[in-house]
Amino acid sequence: MQLESMVRSRSLPAALTQRAKIVLACAAGAANNAVANRFETTDATVGKWRRRFIERRVSGLYDELRPGKPRTIHDE
């Protein structure tokens, strides 16, 4: 399963792997508040990632583009 490979990945950002862990815990039948306690986050955060995964599947776990001025300094 793609979520399990995301959890095991060492190259993905930590936030993305945590989101995958949250979704997997929810899929196992845990309530939002239990998952929030386990990962030391809020019920709202768990609900957000659960909802986005249901709506958009794995692509929903990635950060959305944010409004504002484009970056002037590149990673290179």
pLDDT tens-digit profile of 41-56? 999 999 999 999 999 9
pLDDT at 70: 77
What is the pTM for the complete model shown? Answer: 0.81
Residues 6+ apart with CB under 8 A from 43: 32, 33, 36
Domain ranges of the chain: 14-57
Q: Give the model's confidence band at 76: pLDDT under 50 very low, under 70 low, under 90 confident, else very high.
A: low
Give the chain's mean pLDDT.
91
Q: Tell me the C-alpha to C-alpha distance, in Å, between residue 71 and each of 12, 24, 41, 63, 68.
A: 22, 34, 30, 16, 9
